[in-house]
Structure 1
């Protein structure tokens, strides 16, 4: 398709208007998050270390936090890796800090990274940042108490999308080449997706501003790269891969519940092993998008997050038992 000069100018102006609207919306979200954190109870008995740089860069987004229980009984603890949400345009390593603190308080070593955001990079750049943080953890995690034989990867909303891609890329040399990364030297015991937007190509089918501007989001995610545009959805990258078990967390009052329904269809079609923790609409209108991350202290959030950790424990124990059986057979 060819555009005359005036038509191209109009398109650029339209994109600028959309970007301004998106950034204004996320600025409002940031203000709400700031107010929420001011009122929110901070999980107790947690030690945290902040602003480790996982790249040789001054970019504040390319940093990560570590969280541990204040009183450790073991030299190493099972690992939880959290990928924050924020519509690919918003957030940093601190966005989910109280959620990460809560998970650590339950006896886990937790890492939460930042990553560069749209429109400064496309999804390839975001995936490269996440893999860089995983490489950092593979090098420095064990000496800091991270047991990388037992790893839970989790992400919420857009972070759920990125976590789902990471799980697939880890299992595919073809995807590693497309996204410009190398697999890391540990595996994921469980991948838990919280209200994930793992099928961004289906955003036009939903409601709200993000759906109204879906074409803009998709263009920024792909960066205009046709090959990347064909590998944005979990359904596009998961085919024929041997994936770890997944857990889908959410509920019918999630504004993006259509995304959860779509993901369940993909799980079934691709024979992905999965469990769910999905709250019915009758459980209450307060159980909205990523409620268990934003409000870790709610009873429903505690139930949800403990269910995720217990599923991780079960799979970790099964793995250990299988390895012990293999050793007995030698």
Structure 2
């Protein structure tokens, strides 16, 4: 009986400790996005989102962890054809991860697949939320682009032929920077001086991105919680009437000068609603664009190259890049 009472006390104490911990975390979550960010990154760790499957590149060489700045996250990888003999167009890719996670290593296999067709593929890292807030990653993309131009000869890049690319949150960052390059009024509003002249930016490749954040900030359920958590982490505020929410919308700030764009998304991905809205905006502006939206596919489907639709997007991207090179 004594042992049973002791066990009962320890169980009760354990339950009370767990209850206090949960209440403390719940209280903390009212004042900080960090508990939610922890949960989301843990969920990310249980999936292979962002990993390329089904194909691998040949005839490509690369260097990793080169520095474009002094910050610990200001690094990039560069991939080039082994037989390169002249400067080539550069594809500068911003990785996904909801602005709170991810790494340049995730899209690297995809960049190598593109590089083998005659491009220099550059994948950048950037500082993550909630330790760093908007527009820090946008500024870092500009710093990376300046570094690429200043070191174009050493990198084998033609600085007058740049393509911005990205997936998920990285797609939003790349798309927003393209708006900065092509809309001086918007650049001034964001407070960023473009690292590129509009003529240098030949196009964008954008996959599964959030291009109109205000569209989903009031969504319900788990999806709404996710959006508001990462939005809070990235923007540094949980007041979603803050002007920065609308400022981060590419749908609202793209102009007729926006570069030719290829977009992809799957209809099972809640972000595809924003992709379609962005495609409609580009159509209304008479901007050259190629939308690839497929039923039954989810977020980051383009990296699973065992799927025919993903192969279609890759093939279309290669053809799209080829047309840009002729412009």
User: Which is greater in Rg?
Assistant: 2
Report what 2:266 is aligned to. 251
Of residues 273, 291, 310 in structure 1, which corresponds to 2:301? 291
Alignment-derived partner of residue 67 in structure 2 = 53
Query: Which residue pairs with 1:236 in the alignment?
Result: 252
- 1:158 touches 1:198 (CA, 8 Å); kept in 2? no
CA deviations 1:9-53 (Å, max 9, x no partner) are: 99972346753233222233234339967x876433321101111
2:309 to 300, 309, 325: 300
Q: Does 1:90 align with 2:101?
A: yes
What pairs up with 1:126-165 in 2 under 5 angstroms? 126-165=137-176
Aligned to 1:325: none
* Deviating more after overlay: 203-212 vs 227-236: 203-212
RMSD: 2.9
Question: Which blocks of at least 5 consecutive residues in structure 1 are unaligned?
Answer: 1-8, 320-330
Inter-partner Cα distance in structure 2 for 1:311 and 1:84: 20
Asked if structure 2 preserves the Cα contact closer than 8 Å seen for 1:127 and 1:179, the reply is: no
Give yes or no for contact 1:47–1:70 (8 Å, CA) kept in 2: yes
Structure 1 stretch displaced more, 296-305 or 89-98: 296-305
Aligned pair count reads 299
Distance 1:29 1:220, change over 3 A: closer
Partner of 1:99: 110
Q: 1:250, CA displacement in angstroms?
A: 1.9
**Bigger relative contact order, structure 1 or 2, given CA contacts below 8 A and separation 6+?**
2
Counterpart in the other structure of 1:222: 235
Instruction: Give structure 2 stretches of 5+ with no counterpart.
Output: 1-23
The separation in 2 between residues aligned to 1:269 and 1:315, in whole angstroms, is 21
Q: CA-to-partner distance for each residue in 1:117-176, whole Å, 9 max, x for gaps?
A: 111122211101111111111111333211223222111111111111000111233333
**Secondary structure class of the residue paired with 2:162:** strand
Give the drift of 1:85: 0.9
The SS at the match of 1:196 is: coil
Aligned: 1:193 with 2:206: yes
SS at match of 1:266: helix
